[in-house]
């Protein structure tokens, strides 16, 4: 009996830490999200601003700024995920058969991953400066003027229109497309050359080999990449903070708005409700994925 | 799909058979090279901006010449950035190193148990660990900050960097455990473990004498991975530290968001704050990629 549980004791410290600091604190956050909001009045009395419970959630969902943040998150995620998948796959296809200086290209495409979002965000803030016209434009807008394409100038993420967050996805794609490339490249290299050879002998064209032999085998990797990038997109915080500043209506996503709610609006219950909903959205994507990989792994053994 | 996640991207491309190539093939190869070079140039564009701007003296910065190389080299920006970031740089170095070492040790023990010394329910516990890797940290930040504030009033020595070390170790448990578990599952034959068991070696003895001595490759991966993520973290730093106790990402953000931006100082600061992780990437890039891979496919 003791033997059977030996391993448990070695992992126990980590189990306790994860239970307390992951699951315990999540429960605590949920409790905060149900708490009433009180403020001390000038006379020194406690005044209940909102009664708590699911009212906090109702208040949050009714907030126009939160609705805009959700929309922004959707735009950001679609462009972020789409962009990284597109460029990641394209670069992997360009590299997968082996080219001169392959190692160099791989390293260049992947290097942005080693840099913090704060550092890259600082540079992209400059590149995506909203200033327009010869006296103000720096960054990409200046580049457009230099190349004689001034009509391409844009206010980027600070545009008040509904699709401004597509610009915010540019630095994110820059940072993570190389990662998706690395995943796909590993996938291509994991498929034995014999399979292509066999298909070629059978008279299949290169296109048909990709379509019917290679791509189907990459779909688990594509799913992984989709989940990883998708959940990263939902957690995007540093990049927006670095580029748009800490309190910027047009560039809000739930993760950044939570900071504003907590510190500028001093409304911890609503901030906690926001965090809880964010967690639910991420969990909705990640938990089925974890179960799926767990199952396929067991089946493969 | 049972993926051996520790396998690096095979470095050698498939061998190209020598035969005369058709014009179409030559054309395709040229096009491919042009595309590759173009994309590489686009990716490196921010580096160009950083270098060009950081060597301009603030007085020489003109919007119309924003993309030009500097007329004369100036190190004013570099000196100013170094002065502004040096203390935080030292704090980050201590923080990221300590976090990487402690998380790796914990990860190694956990990974050994989950791969080779299981207990009833261990796979459920492991999945619970994994979920911790994906959570948005906003979901724990409010109570975490309350704990931090309470602790600062009773245990001041914990404020700042020690707090961040603890936090990075705790939230690094899932990824480190995963990396070590996957490594041990493929690199350590179960027969050896069984043989040691038959010879009367207990769990700790088996771990210490058989498993640990061959763990170096996984340690390199987790050390690099944890160092990089702790170094690059900003969210925990923002919620749990301040400008006097925070890491370099915090200091860089302060420097970059100042009124009247001094672009040369800002861009020099970007490079100063990124240099350690860039060096790690340049010299140990292979292992960095392995860390990336193991975070994705289970």
Which residue in B140, B202, B270 is closest to A122 by CB distance?
B270
Domain-embedded: residue A111: yes
Q: How far apart are CA A62 and CA A57, in angstroms?
A: 8
Between chains, do B1 and A183 touch, taking CB under 8 Å as contact? no
Give the C-alpha separation, A69 to A91, whole Å. Answer: 32
Has residue A47 been placed in a domain? no
User: Do residues A125 and B291 touch, judged by C-beta distance below 8 A?
Assistant: no
- Contact status of B190 with chain A (Cβ, < 8 Å): no
Is residue A105 within 8 Å of residue A114, measured between CB atoms? Answer: no
Mean pLDDT score of chain B: 87
Give the three-class secondary structure for A279. Answer: helix
What SS3 state is found at A142? helix
pLDDT value at residue B297: 45
Residue B91's nearest CA partner among B220, B202, B231, B253 is B231
**pLDDT tens digits, one per residue of A169-220:** 999 999 999 999 999 998 998 888 888 888 888 888 888 888 888 888 998 8
Asked if B39 has any chain A CB less than 8 Å from its own CB, the reply is yes
The pLDDT > 90 percentage for chain A reads: 54
H or E, element range at B64:
none
Domain count, chain A: 1
Distance from the Cα of B184 to chain A's closest Cα (Å) equals 15
Contact flag B270-A119 (C-beta cutoff 8 Å): yes
B253 chain-A contacts, CB cut-off 8 A: 118, 122, 241-242
How many Å lie between the alpha carbon of B164 and the closest alpha carbon of chain A?
A: 14
Q: Could you tell me which of B15, B9, B292, B7 has the C-alpha nearest to residue A189?
A: B9
**Is residue A40 in some structural domain?**
no
**CA–CA gap between residue A73 and residue A237 (Å, rounded):** 11
Choice between B34 and B296, residue whose per-residue pLDDT is larger: B34
pLDDT band of residue B14 (cuts 50, 70, 90) is low
Q: A29 is written with which tokens?
A: 């956050």
What is the distance in angstroms between the Cα of A7 and the nearest Cα belonging to chain B?
5
Report pLDDT digits (tens) over B165-186: 999 999 999 999 999 998 998 8
Nearest CA in chain A to B265: A122
- Interface mutation target, options A22, A113, A238, chain B, most CBs of B under 10 Å: A22
Task: Confirm whether A89 is domain-assigned.
Answer: yes
Closest partner residue to A14 (CB to CB) among B11, B63, B110 is: B110
Asked if B109 lies within 8 A of A10 by C-beta distance, the reply is: yes
pLDDT tens digits, A85-104: 999 999 999 998 888 888 89
pLDDT, tens digit, 9 for 90 and up, residues A116-154? 999 999 999 999 988 888 888 888 888 888 898 888 888
Sequence ranges of the domains in chain B: 24-54, 83-294
Q: Which residues does residue A50 pair with via DSSP β-bridges, in sequence order?
A: A37
Q: How far is CA A52 from the centre of its chain?
A: 31
Chain B residue with minimum CA distance to A12: B110
Model confidence at B16, in pLDDT bands (50, 70, 90)?
A: low
Give the span between the Cα atoms of B104 and B29, in whole angstroms: 44
Nearest to A142 among B11, B67, B110 (CB): B67
**Interatomic CA distance for residues B158 and A264, integer angstroms:** 27
pTM to 2 decimal places: 0.90
| Cα(B236)–Cα(A25) distance, integer angstroms | 15
Mutate to test the interface with A, among B6, B8, B12, B36 (most CBs of A within 10 A): B36
Asked if B136 lies within 8 A of A275 by C-beta distance, the reply is yes
Please list the residues that pair with A48 across neighbouring strands.
A38
Name the token pair of A83.
């962009």
CATH number, domain with residue A220: 1.10.3720.10
Query: B177 — contact with chain A (CB < 8 Å)?
Result: yes
Q: Whose CA is closest to B135, among A105, A268, A287?
A: A287
CA-to-CA separations, B137 to A146, A236, A244, A269, A276, in angstroms, rounded: 43, 11, 20, 16, 10
- Using the beta-carbon criterion (under 8 Å), do B296 and A245 form an inter-chain contact? no
Residue B30 half-sphere exposure toward CB, CA atoms < 13 A:
7
B241 to chain A, minimum CA–CA distance in Å?
Answer: 14
Q: What is the pLDDT of residue B298?
A: 41
Tens-digit pLDDT profile for residues A250-295: 999 999 999 999 998 889 999 999 999 999 999 998 988 888 877 7
Are the beta carbons of B144 and A21 separated by less than 8 Å? Answer: yes
From A225, A211, A268, A205, select the one nearest A37 (Cα to Cα).
A268
Q: What are the chain B neighbours of A117 within 8 Å (beta carbons)?
A: 232, 234
Q: Which of residues 124-163 of B touch A (CB under 8 A)?
A: 125, 127-132, 134-144
Q: How confident is the model at residue B295 (pLDDT cuts 50, 70, 90)?
A: low
> Least CB-CB distance to B9: which of A105, A143, A185?
A185
Mind listing the pLDDT tens digit for each residue in B137-161?
999 999 999 999 888 888 777 788 9
Please indicate whether, in this complex, the C-beta atoms of B138 and A220 are within 8 angstroms of each other. no
Nearest CB among A4, A22, A32 relative to B120 is that of A4
CA of B190 to nearest chain A CA: how many angstroms apart? 14
Chain A: residue whose CA lies nearest to B256: A122
Indicate whether A64 belongs to any domain: yes
**Domain-located, residue A133:** yes
Instruction: Find chain B residues with C-beta within 8 A of A241's C-beta.
Output: 234, 238, 253
| Residue-range definition of the domain harbouring residue A272 | 52-300
**How long, in residues, is chain A?**
301
A108 domain residue, yes or no: yes
| Residues of chain A contacting B6 with CB distance shorter than 8 Å | none
CATH superfamily of B83-294: MetI-like (1.10.3720.10)
Task: For residue A193, give the chain B residue with the closest CA.
Answer: B14
Cα dist. B220→A59, B6, B105, B166 in Å? Answer: 48, 12, 12, 21
A219 part of a folded domain: yes
B185 in contact with A, Cβ within 8 Å? no
How many beta-carbon pairs under 8 angstroms link A with B? 281
Task: Give the single-character DSSP code of B208.
Answer: I
- Would you place residue B20 in the very low, low, confident or very high pLDDT band (cuts 50, 70, 90)? low
Check B139 against A279: CB less than 8 A apart.
Answer: yes
């Amino acid at each position: 009996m003791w033997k059977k549980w030996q391993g448990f004791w070695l992992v126990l410290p980590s189990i306790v830490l994860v239970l307390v600091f992951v699951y315990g604190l999540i429960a605590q956050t949920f409790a905060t999200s149900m708490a009433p909001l009180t403020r001390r009045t000038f006379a020194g009395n406690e005044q209940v601003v909102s009664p708590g419970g699911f009212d906090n959630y109702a208040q949050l969902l009714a907030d126009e700024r939160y609705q805009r943040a959700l929309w922004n998150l959707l735009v950001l995620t679609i462009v972020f995920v789409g962009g990284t998948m597109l460029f990641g796959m394209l670069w992997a296809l360009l590299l997968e058969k082996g080219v001169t200086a392959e190692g160099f290209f791989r390293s260049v495409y992947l290097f942005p991953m080693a840099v913090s979002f704060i550092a890259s965000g600082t540079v992209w803030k400059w590149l995506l400066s909203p200033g327009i016209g010869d006296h103000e434009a720096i960054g990409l807008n200046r580049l457009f003027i230099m190349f004689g394409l001034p009509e391409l100038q844009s206010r980027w993420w600070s545009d008040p229109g509904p699709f401004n967050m597509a610009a915010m996805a540019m630095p994110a794609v820059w940072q993570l497309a190389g990662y998706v490339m690395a995943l796909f490249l590993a996938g291509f290299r994991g498929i034995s050359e014999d399979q292509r050879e066999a298909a070629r002998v059978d008279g299949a064209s290169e296109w048909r080999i990709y379509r019917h032999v290679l791509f189907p085998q990459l779909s688990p990797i594509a799913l992984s990449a989709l989940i990883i990038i998708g959940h990263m997109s939902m957690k995007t915080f540093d990049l927006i903070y670095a580029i748009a500043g800490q309190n910027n209506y047009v560039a809000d996503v739930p993760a950044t708005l939570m900071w504003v709610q907590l510190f500028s609006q001093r409304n911890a219950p609503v901030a906690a409700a926001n965090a809880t909903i964010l967690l639910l959205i991420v969990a909705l994507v990640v938990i089925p994925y974890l179960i799926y990989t767990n199952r396929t792994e067991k089946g493969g053994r | 799909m049972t993926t051996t996640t520790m396998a690096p991207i095979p470095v050698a491309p498939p061998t190209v058979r020598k035969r005369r190539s058709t014009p179409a093939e030559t054309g395709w190869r040229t096009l491919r090279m042009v595309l590759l070079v173009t994309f590489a140039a686009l990716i490196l564009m921010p580096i160009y901006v950083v270098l060009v701007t950081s060597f301009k003296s603030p007085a020489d910065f003109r919007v119309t010449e924003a993309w030009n190389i500097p007329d004369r080299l100036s190190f004013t920006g570099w000196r100013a950035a170094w002065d502004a970031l040096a203390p935080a740089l030292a704090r980050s170095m201590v923080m990221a190193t300590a976090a990487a070492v402690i998380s790796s040790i914990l990860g190694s023990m956990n990974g050994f148990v989950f791969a080779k010394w299981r207990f009833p329910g261990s796979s459920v516990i492991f999945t619970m660990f994994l979920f911790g890797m994906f959570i948005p940290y906003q979901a724990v930040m409010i109570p975490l900050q309350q704990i931090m504030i309470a602790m600062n009033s009773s245990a001041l020595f914990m404020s700042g960097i020690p707090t961040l070390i603890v936090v990075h170790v705790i939230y690094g448990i899932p990824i480190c455990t995963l990396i070590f578990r996957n490594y041990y599952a493929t690199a350590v034959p179960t027969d050896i473990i069984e043989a040691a068991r038959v010879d009367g070696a207990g769990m700790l003895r088996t771990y210490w004498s058989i498993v640990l001595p061959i763990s170096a490759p996984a340690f390199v991966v987790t050390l690099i991975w944890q160092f990089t993520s702790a170094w690059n973290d900003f969210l925990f730093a923002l919620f749990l530290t301040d400008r006097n106790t925070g890491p370099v990402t915090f200091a860089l953000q302060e420097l970059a968001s100042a009124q009247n931006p001094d672009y040369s100082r800002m861009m020099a600061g970007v490079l100063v704050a990124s240099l350690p992780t860039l060096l790690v990437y340049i010299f140990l890039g292979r292992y960095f990629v392995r860390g990336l891979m193991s975070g994705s496919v289970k």
